[in-house]
Amino acid sequence: MALGSAWKQMSWLYYQYLLVTALYMLEPWERTVFNAFFLNRSSDSMLVSIVGMALYTGYVFMPQHIMAILHYFEIVQ
Protein backbone atom coordinates (compact mmCIF):
# COMPACT_ATOMS: atom_id res chain seq x y z
CA MET A 1 0.00 0.00 0.00
CA ALA A 2 2.87 2.40 0.77
CA LEU A 3 4.30 1.84 -2.71
CA GLY A 4 0.98 2.73 -4.31
CA SER A 5 0.72 5.88 -2.22
CA ALA A 6 4.28 6.91 -3.11
CA TRP A 7 3.58 6.28 -6.80
CA LYS A 8 0.41 8.37 -6.61
CA GLN A 9 2.32 11.24 -4.93
CA MET A 10 5.09 11.12 -7.57
CA SER A 11 2.51 11.09 -10.35
CA TRP A 12 0.83 14.14 -8.84
CA LEU A 13 4.16 15.99 -8.54
CA TYR A 14 5.03 15.14 -12.15
CA TYR A 15 1.64 16.39 -13.28
CA GLN A 16 2.22 19.66 -11.39
CA TYR A 17 5.63 19.98 -13.08
CA LEU A 18 3.98 19.53 -16.48
CA LEU A 19 1.37 22.16 -15.70
CA VAL A 20 3.78 24.75 -14.31
CA THR A 21 6.20 24.45 -17.22
CA ALA A 22 3.38 24.09 -19.81
CA LEU A 23 4.95 20.83 -21.01
CA TYR A 24 1.59 19.08 -20.94
CA MET A 25 0.93 20.57 -24.40
CA LEU A 26 3.96 18.88 -25.96
CA GLU A 27 4.29 15.47 -27.51
CA PRO A 28 6.22 12.91 -25.42
CA TRP A 29 9.30 13.16 -27.63
CA GLU A 30 9.25 16.97 -27.33
CA ARG A 31 9.09 16.66 -23.55
CA THR A 32 12.11 14.38 -23.66
CA VAL A 33 14.09 16.89 -25.74
CA PHE A 34 13.09 19.75 -23.43
CA ASN A 35 14.07 17.79 -20.33
CA ALA A 36 17.34 16.65 -21.89
CA PHE A 37 18.40 20.21 -22.72
CA PHE A 38 17.03 22.21 -19.83
CA LEU A 39 17.15 19.87 -16.89
CA ASN A 40 20.67 18.68 -17.52
CA ARG A 41 22.94 19.87 -14.74
CA SER A 42 25.79 20.52 -17.16
CA SER A 43 26.22 24.21 -17.90
CA ASP A 44 27.81 23.36 -21.26
CA SER A 45 24.62 21.82 -22.64
CA MET A 46 22.63 24.80 -21.37
CA LEU A 47 25.05 27.18 -23.06
CA VAL A 48 24.91 25.25 -26.33
CA SER A 49 21.11 25.20 -26.32
CA ILE A 50 20.82 28.93 -25.54
CA VAL A 51 23.34 29.88 -28.22
CA GLY A 52 21.64 27.55 -30.69
CA MET A 53 18.22 29.03 -30.02
CA ALA A 54 19.60 32.57 -30.29
CA LEU A 55 21.24 31.82 -33.64
CA TYR A 56 18.11 30.17 -34.98
CA THR A 57 15.90 33.03 -33.82
CA GLY A 58 18.25 35.57 -35.35
CA TYR A 59 18.31 33.67 -38.63
CA VAL A 60 14.54 33.37 -38.82
CA PHE A 61 13.30 36.70 -37.47
CA MET A 62 16.04 39.31 -37.90
CA PRO A 63 15.66 39.75 -41.69
CA GLN A 64 11.97 40.62 -41.22
CA HIS A 65 12.74 43.16 -38.51
CA ILE A 66 15.58 44.73 -40.48
CA MET A 67 13.37 45.10 -43.54
CA ALA A 68 10.60 46.66 -41.44
CA ILE A 69 13.08 49.18 -39.99
CA LEU A 70 14.45 50.01 -43.45
CA HIS A 71 10.92 50.53 -44.77
CA TYR A 72 10.02 52.69 -41.78
CA PHE A 73 12.97 55.01 -42.35
CA GLU A 74 12.30 54.93 -46.11
CA ILE A 75 15.75 53.62 -46.92
CA VAL A 76 14.24 50.81 -48.97
CA GLN A 77 11.00 51.13 -50.92
Say if residues 38 and 52 touch (Cβ distance below 8 Å): no
Mean pLDDT of the region 39-64: 79
Q: Calculate the average pLDDT of the chain.
A: 84
Say how many residues make up the chain.
77
Domain chopping of the chain, boundaries: 1-38, 40-76
pTM above 0.85, yes or no: no
In this prediction, residue 43 carries a pLDDT of 62
Structure-model confidence comparison of residues 44 and 54, the more confident one: 54
CB 46 within 8 A of CB 40: yes
